[in-house]
Amino acid sequence: MVMGRKTPLLLFFLLSVASAEVFFQEHFDDGWENRWVKSDWKKYEKMAGEWNHTSGKWNGNPNDKGIQTSEDYRFYAISAEFPEFSNKDKTLVFQFSVKHEQKLDCGGGYMKLLSGEVDQKKFGGETPYSIMFGPDICGYTTRKVHAIFSRDGQNHLIKKNVPCETDQLTHVYTLIVRPDATYSILIDNNEKKSGSLYTDWDILPPKKITDPNAKKPEDWDDKEYIPDPEDKKPEGYDDIPMEIPDNEAKKPEDWDDEEDGEWTTPTIPNPDYKGPWEPKRIKNPNFKGKWEAPMIDNPDFKDDPDIYVCPNLKYVAIELWQVKSGTLFDNILVCDDPEYAKKLAEETWGKHKDAEKEAFKQSENKKENKKEEVDKDEDDSEEEKDDNVDDDEAVGKDKVDDDVHDEL
């Protein structure tokens, strides 16, 4: 078991939830590099990005560091091993926090659980995994939480839409899978989605299907409204003309009967004319509702009570492509107790989220001020330097000067 020994408080808390079985827990304290293996994937193409061990540009606790992607247009692949286990007959909880400091416009923030033997030095996008879970953002169309179970080389994506957080603050993502094949997805300790692995993934064919041989009975009345048989056309209805002479019209003074023909009164639409008569419509007393084929047992369904089981779980891993870097992972947990995970999230993210929000606000204000300064200095001799300093970098440097970062 890998355990972070960060603060006495956290340690106390870990002891106080004694019933939980923790398979993996990582807070990225010093020494984290001994527990994680950076893959050589994409390294020789010079496309492998470096991780930065940091609490980020804004945070609620500068001592709580994680690992952050630090180079744009790079692949990232890193993993850590834990004693192999199977979640059969156990609840599986997979949780981590992620913060997209770069205002992610396209990229992933998800993690994976791998099974069996993996050459961690070669781990990459092609390495099979058992579970992939976490946020994925691309433009305005993809803003979702992935929850993928891999079975026999096939990836099964969740069929429900679970929106993810899109701001630049830390959020905790939790996946819970129970032995009764139910699941829950939580963000910041709030349940966003729950249900069954049977229905919300197509790992197995559906238990029930609509009977393909069923036919709508001939006498099935699915008309909700019908013409009122009692309604009768009023007498003289058809005698009402569509148009009537315009009595206000006058023959123009310069009208010349000889040249223009005989003047006749023009017509206008008749306000009394209501169109062809139609009986009024009433609710159909025989209405049976919309016909639906009955559900029957799916002959192709073969139950697998182990639908939720991932045997030989052995690694947590991050494998990402990032156009813009700045995604920071922290407080990773694999355990069997949702209550434990919830408390851990409270002790880490929950305790510092307000301070982080405040730090972010200040950072944004500084950025605004910096921008104004740069605008003012535009004509100065400093011009060429300004051109090279992007706003983010400028704020980062400011922050380092102001804050007491023990690592710097």
Ligand X SMILES: *[C@@H]1O[C@H](CO)[C@@H](O)[C@H](O)[C@H]1NC(C)=O
Site for ligand X, rule CB under 6 A = 52, 54, 56-57, 70, 396, 400
User: Minimum CB separation from ligand X for residue 65, in Å?
Assistant: 9
For residues 48 and 131, which CB has a smaller minimum distance to ligand X in the complex?
48
112 is in an annotated binding site: yes
For residues 115 and 327, which CB has a smaller minimum distance to ligand X in the complex?
327
346 is in an annotated binding site: no
- CA dihedral sign of residues 403, 405, 406, 408: negative
For residues 303 and 401, which CB has a smaller minimum distance to ligand X in the complex?
401
273 is in an annotated binding site: no
List of residues 6+ apart from 281 with CB closer than 8 A: 225, 226, 227, 228
For residues 4 and 49, which CB has a smaller minimum distance to ligand X in the complex?
49
Distance, CA of 295 to CA of 4 (rounded, Å): 51
User: Minimum CB separation from ligand X for residue 405, in Å?
Assistant: 8
For residues 65 and 90, which CB has a smaller minimum distance to ligand X in the complex?
65
The closest of 111, 201, 195 to 157, measured between CA atoms, is 201
Distance, CA of 166 to CA of 108 (rounded, Å): 11
Exposure pattern of 329-340 as b/e (b: 16+ CB <10 Å)? Answer: bbbbbbbbbbeb
User: Minimum CB separation from ligand X for residue 394, in Å?
Assistant: 11
User: Minimum CB separation from ligand X for residue 326, in Å?
Assistant: 8
For residues 57 and 171, which CB has a smaller minimum distance to ligand X in the complex?
57
For residues 39 and 68, which CB has a smaller minimum distance to ligand X in the complex?
68
Distance, CA of 399 to CA of 408 (rounded, Å): 11
347 is in an annotated binding site: no
- Written as six digits, the tokens of 31 are 């020494």
User: Minimum CB separation from ligand X for residue 391, in Å?
Assistant: 14
User: Minimum CB separation from ligand X for residue 43, in Å?
Assistant: 17
User: Minimum CB separation from ligand X for residue 130, in Å?
Assistant: 31
110 is in an annotated binding site: yes
Could you list the residues known to form a binding site for an alpha-D-glucoside, using ranges.
110, 112, 129, 136, 319
Could you list the residues known to form a binding site, using ranges.
110, 112, 129, 136, 319
